[in-house]
Amino acid sequence: MNDAAAIMEHGKTSLPEALNMGIGLLSIYKNSDAFKNTQRAVDREENYRVAVLNYLGALIKVAAGRR
């Protein structure tokens, strides 16, 4: 299921499409540079979202303290 989740996120595919891909294709993809590059991009995007949410949380605390 982890392989299917990776394909869904990296390839922007649906779960049925990811499950229909052969196991061999999944293992080849997970060992490729394309997978590593896409994983880095996914990680950067996730880190950016976490940073934005943390910043917004800090702003809300400051605004709440001023009331």
Could you tell me where the DSSP H helices lie in 1-67? 2-11, 15-20, 23-30, 33-65
Q: Give 6-57 pLDDT, tens digit per residue.
A: 788 887 888 888 888 877 777 888 889 988 998 999 999 999 999 999 999 9
30, 42, 53, 62, 64 from 2: Cα distances, Å: 11, 15, 26, 40, 41
Q: Alpha carbon 50 to chain centroid distance?
A: 12
- pTM of full prediction above 0.85: no
User: For residue 3, is pLDDT > 80?
Assistant: no
- 1 pLDDT above the threshold of 70: no
Supply the DSSP symbol for 21. Answer: S
Instruction: Tell me which DSSP letter residue 16 carries.
Output: H
Domain boundaries, the chain: 2-65
